[in-house]
Structure 1
């Protein structure tokens, strides 16, 4: 990392990929707020990074609620003076047959994955623009690029929207010192993947990956760290892929 230590907020950071991203940012010397619907789990994950609470804190944040982002922003500026990095990682994946997806299920999945990213970009994008500096990294997905093979259509559609929102916010915020990028992982070697994707389907998906294995979440986290760096000021509106060769462009 170049420059001084920064303050980062990561959504959906109580575990999984979000927890990995938060840990990588913290290891780079950043102060990190780990936010999650599960406030207790977020606090526990933060305490594992720094038991003193000086450089890591766990906060409750429902990404479906725009005001929750405002509250988190205000709490962090009061605690650490300023926020510099936002990672929109919180997601909701559900495996359902296309014709069986109910309106309620579609709304719920899109509400977390797409609306949540929009709220975060809007609240922190405006704040960063006012400060004249900021880094936003959105976690997209291979499903949003190829229509999804192991997830539901609602998840794929929402993640496709995340990729588009990234470009829209990047274009708008670029003149004011704010970069907005996305990382698009393919299937990752994470507990949530093994838990939500049927074993047979996961085996089929893994067999289709040219590199022959699930992705490493630690590497995805490293991509986020790089896009969050001070010297990443010439990259915006980009979507970096990490899918083992499942999708090439």
Structure 2
């Protein structure tokens, strides 16, 4: 039996990319998963693919930049699964653009999803988890938020740095309720999005500058999340787990 067997996990941005890998990993380990995504149809499709009966997987349409939508998400998940134990804040928005060309609207749009949405989710779900006396919150950060990288946009990097700080704040505030709050900070992963930013012709040269000599494996990130989501990680809180191949050491 897995350490997270029977636990209920909510994963935002869970319908595709890294979010989908996290959903699949947690479900394979016995979690009941609430796949929450702006694309509700894709979330529902993934959930049905995992469990056509809807017993252990359900999809939900949610805009994480809307606090009321996050409040409804908690109510809906509790109605469907009766409990919530794990929240993975994975939903994110980015826009590769020179820093000095980012408009106020673009800044607000990225921050609304990448920081404000996560802050609200931690408040809403964190309060419930603390009241029940147990919970795990994992916030997806980024190497860009640690080293000031702007390849994915300066507003994206700023939002991820803010997530790391907020993770520590919530970890301290929610510790009394048996809730741990941690961040996972991936470096460049071997994904279509990263390959498009780096450029296929530049991959080998880029990898040579990574101490381990390769891009990261997104499946490993999902395993890190699953470990932090487990009861065995009870003493880990306020931490930021790095997975960057040695690009940033501290």
Cα distance in structure 1, aligned partners of 2:98 and 2:200: 16
Deviation string 1:150-178 (CA, Å, 9 cap, x unpaired) is: 22110000000000000000000001100
Runs of 4+ in 1 over 2 A off after TM superposition: 1-4, 191-208
Structure 2 residue matching 1:130: 3-state secondary structure: helix
Where structure 2 has 5 or more consecutive residues not aligned to the other structure, the ranges are none
The within-5 A match list for 1:171-186 is 171-186=172-187
TM-superposed CA distance for 1:210, in Å, is 1.5
Q: Which residue number corresponds to residue 162 of structure 2?
A: 161
Partner of 1:24: 25
**Aligned-pair CA distance for 1:149:** 4.7
Cα RMSD (Å):
1.5
The alpha carbon displacement at 1:55 in A equals 0.5
Change in CA separation of 1:135 and 1:227 when aligned onto 2, cut-off 3 Å: same
- The residue aligned with 1:189 is 190
Q: CA deviation at 1:22?
A: 0.5
Cα shift at 1:49 = 1.2
TM value normalised by structure 2: 0.95
Structure 1, residues 30-89: CA drift from partner, whole Å, max 9, x if none? Answer: 100111100001111112211221101110011101111111111111111110000000
- Could you say what secondary structure the match of 1:138 adopts? strand
Q: Deviations over 1:113-170 (max 9, x none)?
A: 1111101101001110111111000000000000015221100000000000000000
Corresponding residue pairs, total: 249
SS in 2 for 1:34: strand
- 2:80 corresponding residue in structure 1: 79
Q: Would you say 1:131 and 2:132 are equivalent positions?
A: yes
Question: Quick one: distance in 2 between partners of 1:159 and 1:200?
Answer: 28
What SS is found at the alignment partner of 1:136? strand
Q: Show structure 1 runs of 5+ residues with no match.
A: none
Q: Does the CA-based 8 Å contact 2:4-2:30 persist in structure 1?
A: no
Measured in 1, the distance between the counterparts of 2:35 and 2:22 equals 10
8 Å contact kept, 1:213–1:244:
yes
Hey, what does 1:103 align to over in structure 2?
A: 104
User: Residues 49-128 of structure 1: matches in 2 within 5 Å?
Assistant: 49-128=50-129
